């Protein structure tokens, strides 16, 4: 008996189901991008990570100093390698071997860089970006400082409204982030938020960008793929 996908009796239905899912996510991603535009963000839905990568690189001026938040999504795009090869200075506090002092300097540099690359924890269909930080350099830089901010979010981060965004942060994003970082907080062990008082509690600053702030230039790319946490 063969075992190729083509011999699966449900192959055609399964392929169709994939397309159907992609269709639904695209509808949601496009609706979120339209809502963001109404709130003065420069927003775009793109189908793939490759398309996102091209859009990011097209937006970055030559020689720009790049800040990068603690974002798995941005690392997944692969743009940091390209930018480094192009000679752009990159402020990346995830680089191995940095001292605590270096990491702090880099976090501060995020606030004054030319282009800040990051993700958000949730994007609502009402056109808002919702993010929670432990330190606040990411949400600070998203709000004011850099000449340009590029936010990249997989369509898995699109939620209906703010309440859903807060729930996503506590139920989906943070437990994965803290486990990945090895932080000693309850949700890193159980996967469930208990609104903890742990010394390493990661949820300390929540920022909702409900409209583009006056002096910021914020580009949001919603990508039709499952990215980041």
Q: Contact at 8 Å (CB) between 21 and 15?
A: no
Query: φ, ψ for residue 135 (rounded to 5)?
Result: -105, -50
Q: In terms of Cα–Cα distance, which of 184, 180, 179, 182 is closest to 196? A: 184
Taking the complex as a whole, how short is the minimal distance between the CB of residue 29 and ligand SF4, in angstroms? 26
Residue nearer to ligand SF4 on the CB measure, 28 or 168: 168
Taking the complex as a whole, how short is the minimal distance between the CB of residue 192 and ligand SF4, in angstroms? 8
Compute the distance between CA of residue 83 and CA of residue 89 in angstroms, rounded to an integer.
8
Q: Does the CA dihedral 179-182-186-190 come out positive or negative? A: positive
What x/- string results for residues 163 through 202 when contact with ligand SF4 is judged by CB under 6 A? -------x---x---x------xxx-----xxxx-x--xx
Residue nearer to ligand SF4 on the CB measure, 60 or 172: 172
DSSP category for residue 19: H
CB atoms within 10 A of CB 1: 3
For the segment 15-34, give every residue that binds ligand SF4 (CB under 6 A): none
Taking the complex as a whole, how short is the minimal distance between the CB of residue 62 and ligand SF4, in angstroms? 40
Taking the complex as a whole, how short is the minimal distance between the CB of residue 181 and ligand SF4, in angstroms? 11
Q: Contact at 8 Å (CB) between 111 and 102?
A: no
Compute the distance between CA of residue 10 and CA of residue 211 in angstroms, rounded to an integer.
46
Residue nearer to ligand SF4 on the CB measure, 36 or 185: 185
Residue nearer to ligand SF4 on the CB measure, 51 or 196: 196
Residue nearer to ligand SF4 on the CB measure, 61 or 191: 191
Note the residues at the interface with ligand SF4 (CB under 6 A).
170, 174, 178, 185-187, 193-196, 198, 201-203
């Amino acid at each position: 008996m063969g075992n190729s996908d083509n011999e699966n009796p449900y192959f055609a239905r399964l392929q169709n189901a994939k397309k159907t899912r992609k269709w639904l996510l695209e509808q949601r991603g496009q609706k979120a991008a339209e809502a963001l535009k109404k709130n003065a963000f420069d927003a775009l839905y793109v189908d793939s990570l490759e398309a996102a990568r091209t859009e990011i690189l097209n937006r970055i001026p030559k020689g720009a100093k790049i800040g990068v938040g603690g974002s798995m999504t941005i690392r997944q795009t692969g743009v940091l390698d390209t930018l480094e090869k192009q000679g752009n200075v990159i402020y990346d506090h995830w680089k191995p071997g940095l001292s605590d002092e270096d990491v702090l300097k880099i976090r501060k540099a995020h606030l004054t860089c030319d282009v800040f690359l990051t993700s958000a924890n949730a994007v609502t269909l009402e056109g808002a970006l919702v993010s929670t930080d432990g330190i606040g350099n990411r949400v600070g830089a998203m709000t004011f400082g850099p000449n340009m901010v590029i936010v990249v979010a997989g369509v898995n981060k699109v939620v209906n409204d703010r309440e859903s965004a807060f729930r996503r942060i506590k139920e989906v994003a943070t437990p994965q982030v803290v486990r990945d970082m090895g932080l000693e907080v309850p949700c890193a062990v159980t996967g469930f938020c208990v609104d903890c008082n742990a010394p390493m509690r990661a949820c300390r600053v929540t920022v909702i960008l409900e409209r583009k702030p006056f002096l910021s230039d914020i580009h949001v790319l919603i990508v039709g793929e499952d990215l980041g946490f």
